[in-house]
Amino acid sequence: MAMTAVRAVAAGGPASLSRFRGALVSAVLGDCVGGEFEGAEDVPMENVLQHLNSLDDETKGTGILEYSDDTAMARCVVQSLLNHAGFDEQDMARRFAKEYSSSPGRGYGSGVIQVLKKLSSPQLSDVYQPARDQFNGRGSFGNGGAMRAAPFALAFPDLADVKRFARLGAMLTHSCSLGYNGAVLQALAVHLSLHGALDLPHQFINRLITEMEEVEGDEAALRDARILKEAEKPFCERLHRVRDLMDRSKVSIEEVISELGNGIAALHSVPTAIFCVLHCLQPRECLPESYSGVERTIAYSLALGGDTDTIACMAGAIAGAHYGIEAVRQSWINCCEGTKDADINAERLHMLYHQSSQGGGSGTGEQSCEDGSKNKSNSNGTEKKTGAE
């Protein structure tokens, strides 16, 4: 593939409001439209296009495609970050638990349900403990942390904060490094995309590899990779595969699945989502010419089958941050539950982000701020942080 500079149309400059809206709304779209093919092994593109075309039928009504746990948990992340103008693990954990108990039928992973039930206990003192108890004390490597990681990139301008808080936010349910580092990678990809890095796709992937080299050099990550018999730095290894695939002139869906995966593990889905975005930066023969970049990315993600809602959700967030809200078709927005809220929340996050990047205070657009103090240490030695360093 000739990967020269590919410009985003109309997305505006780095960290523009359009990019924030594109990211959050496209993530919801990916989740909602992806539900149709979740778990399917073989998804002909024809079926994908038929499904997507049906969204243009206005007689069907609005909000007919419901969001799943991906969006349900991402909404908790957004509300928590906005309400506290930063990261507060107690609050985020409480929101996850409350959301699950009020709407348990959103398709949660079978393991994470145990964590969410334990998180609702008023006796719980360490909110990270239930996640540590998963899978015989090894923690989950599922993609549940990554699927809700995009908002961290939209709340913190500073890259170190994005990595740190995406990791901590994921660790509330996923304590295995192969789970939480997937969240770090997803948040990093959204952060870079938000800043226009996808204009230069090779630099984008190289930057992700460099960042993950450091993230995966951590002792816990090296140990988990050894125990699970993965490459020394599993996400880096997959990102090298992404780079090889994006350099190939033709890549079949089967090759993408066999090289990168399409499963429920973060390792088998986050690099895949990143590939979907890179592959669809240019028009593709198998996709309608009229499709925007966001539409191409989501359609292509669905055609991979497997964990379609989550891969399309993650790819949607990265692509939306690149192309902006103008690349999203109104009829798709109308059909999907939660898109209007996502749009409003994107505006609030945009405000928080820019206040933070100017070293400003905690104004978030939400009425209640239970604790407006900045940089406040808490029980886990983490801190709430709103200002860029």
- Using CB under 6 A, which of 16, 143, 262, 355 touches ligand R7I? 143
Contact yes or no for 186/170 (Cβ under 8 A): no
Nearer to Mg ion, 69 or 91 (CB): 69
Query: d(Cα 301, Cα 123) in Å, to the nearest integer?
Result: 42
Which of 111, 141, 146, 167 lies closest to 30 in space, CA to CA? 146
Minimum CB separation of residue 367 from ligand R7I in Å reads 30
Query: d(Cα 263, Cα 41) in Å, to the nearest integer?
Result: 10
Nearer to ligand R7I, 131 or 281 (CB): 131
- Stated length of the chain: 389
Nearer to Mg ion, 157 or 305 (CB): 305
Minimum CB separation of residue 363 from Mg ion in Å reads 34
Query: d(Cα 146, Cα 317) in Å, to the nearest integer?
Result: 11
User: What does 287 bind: ligand R7I, Mg ion, none (CB cut-off 5 to 8 Å by kind)?
Assistant: none
Nearer to Mg ion, 295 or 309 (CB): 309
Stretch 264-283: interaction string toward ligand R7I, x if CB under 6 A: x-------------------
SS3 of 304, please? Answer: coil
Q: Annotated binding residue at 16?
A: no
Minimum CB separation of residue 205 from Mg ion in Å reads 24
Q: Annotated binding residue at 62?
A: no
Q: Annotated binding residue at 341?
A: no
Minimum CB separation of residue 71 from ligand R7I in Å reads 10
**Two tokens, residue 157:** 């301008």
**Whole-Å CA distances, 259 to 32, 230, 235, 262, 268:** 26, 14, 13, 10, 9
Q: Annotated binding residue at 307?
A: yes
Contact yes or no for 368/83 (Cβ under 8 A): yes
Minimum CB separation of residue 134 from ligand R7I in Å reads 6
- Could you say whether residue 138 binds ligand R7I (CB under 6 A)? yes
The gap from C-alpha 282 to its chain's centroid, in whole angstroms, comes to 22
Separate counts of helices (H) and strands (E) for the chain: 19, 0
Contacting positions for ligand R7I (CB under 6 A): 68-70, 107, 109-112, 135, 138, 140-144, 147, 176, 264, 307, 309-310
Which residues are documented as binding site for Mg(2+)? 68-70, 307, 309-310
